[in-house]
Amino acid sequence: MAMGETCDRGGNASIWPAPYSRLRSDFMSGEDIRILAEGVSEPRICFGVEIDDDDEFDAAEAAQWRQAREELRRRSRPTNLLSRWLDRWRRGRQAREQSRYEKASRQLEERVKEMQCLNNVLRILGEDYASLSVLLYDLVRVLPQGLQHSDVAAARIAVAGRSAQTAGFSRTPWILKSQVVIANEVAGSVEVVYLQERPESHVGPFLIEERNLLQQVAQSIGQAAERYRFRDLQKLRSGQIERANAALERFAMTASHHLQEPLRTISSYTQMLVQKHVPPDNDSAREYARYIAEAVDRMGELIDSMAVYAAVPRDTETCYQADLNTIVVRVVQELELTIRRLDARVSIDPLPVVALRPTHAEEVLRNLIENALKFRGEARPDIRIWCEQDEEYCSLYISDNGLGIPAEYIEKVFELYARLHPRERFPGNGVGLSVCRRIVESYGGEIWAMSSPGGTVITITLAAANVIARAGADEDCEQDPAPAAGMNHTTSRVG
Q: Which long-range contacts (CB under 8 A, 24 or more apart) does 295-304 make?
A: 296/263, 296/266, 296/267, 296/270, 297/267, 298/429, 299/259, 299/263, 300/260, 300/263, 301/429, 302/417, 302/429, 303/255, 303/256, 303/259, 303/260, 303/263, 304/256
Of 11, 42, 15, the closest CA to residue 25 belongs to 11
At 85, which amino acid appears?
W
At 214, which amino acid appears?
L
Query: What single string gives the DSSP state of each residue in 419-445?
Result: -SS-TTTS-S-S-HHHHHHHHHHHTT-
- Give the integer Cα–Cα distance in Å for 201 and 213: 16
Q: Does domain 322-494 have CATH number 1.25.40.390?
A: no
Instruction: Count the alpha carbons within 13 Å of 236 in the hemisphere toward its beta carbon.
Output: 6
Q: Where are the domains of the chain?
A: 18-93, 110-234, 239-310, 322-494
CA 369 to chain centre: 43
Edge-to-edge strand ranges of the sheet holding 393-400? 446-452, 455-463, 393-400, 382-389, 345-348, 492-494
243-291: per-residue pLDDT in tens?
Answer: 877 777 777 777 777 777 788 888 888 888 888 888 888 888 888 888 8
Q: Residue 256: enclosing H or E segment and its boundaries? A: helix 208-277
453-488: per-residue pLDDT in tens?
Answer: 788 999 999 887 777 765 333 444 444 443 333 333
Contacts of residue 492, defined as CB under 8 A and 6 or more positions apart, other chains included, come to 329, 332, 346, 347, 348
Q: Which of the two residues, 330 and 42, has the higher pLDDT score?
A: 330
Contacts of residue 329, defined as CB under 8 A and 6 or more positions apart, other chains included, come to 348, 483, 484, 487, 488, 492
Q: What is the pLDDT of residue 154?
A: 92
35-64: per-residue pLDDT in tens?
Answer: 333 333 444 444 344 444 444 556 777 777
- Give the integer Cα–Cα distance in Å for 55 and 76: 26
Q: What is the pLDDT of residue 74?
A: 65
Q: Which CATH code fits 110-234?
A: 3.30.450.40
- Give the integer Cα–Cα distance in Å for 273 and 261: 18
Cβ atoms of 118 and 213 within 8 Å: the answer is: yes
Tell me the torsion sign for CA atoms 419, 424, 429, 433: negative
- Please give the mean pLDDT across all residues of the chain: 76
Query: What are the backbone angles phi and psi of residue 348, rounded to the nearest 5°?
Result: -125, 115
For the chain, what is the radius of gyration of the CA atoms? Answer: 52
